[in-house]
């Protein structure tokens, strides 16, 4: 099921930044098994859409505070298109 907001959060560990993008493609375009058409090593074995407010509860406890801050920061952008 596609989340109607289709807000994608991307974390970059190299510079500790988080970016937001609105995904307007088809779910089938997301391939975590062979990212970049197989040019990159897979980091995940599956994915799913989740409500932004549900994310902190899905995260390992020692990182939960960061995700609570991320959800609060991006909440104004997470609305149906």
pLDDT classification of 78: cutoffs 50, 70, 90: confident
Structure tokens at 47: 């994915």
3-state secondary structure (DSSP) of residue 61: helix
Structure tokens at 65: 């505070």
7-32 pLDDT per residue, tens: 566 665 555 666 777 778 888 888 88
d(CA 22, CA 18): 14
The owner of tokens 């930044």 is 17
Beta bridge partners of 12: 17
Checking DSSP bridges between strand 17-22 and strand 7-12, what pairing results, if any? antiparallel
Q: What is the pTM of this model?
A: 0.59
Q: What pLDDT was estimated at residue 61? A: 92
């Amino acid at each position: 099921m596609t989340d109607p907001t289709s807000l994608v959060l991307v974390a970059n560990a190299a510079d500790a930044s988080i970016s937001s993008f609105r995904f307007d493609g088809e779910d089938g375009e997301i391939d975590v098994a062979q990212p970049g058409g197989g040019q990159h090593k897979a980091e995940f074995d599956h994915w799913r859409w989740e409500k932004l407010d549900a994310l902190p509860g899905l995260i390992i406890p020692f990182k939960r505070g960061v995700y609570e801050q991320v959800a609060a920061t991006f909440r104004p952008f997470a609305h149906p298109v």
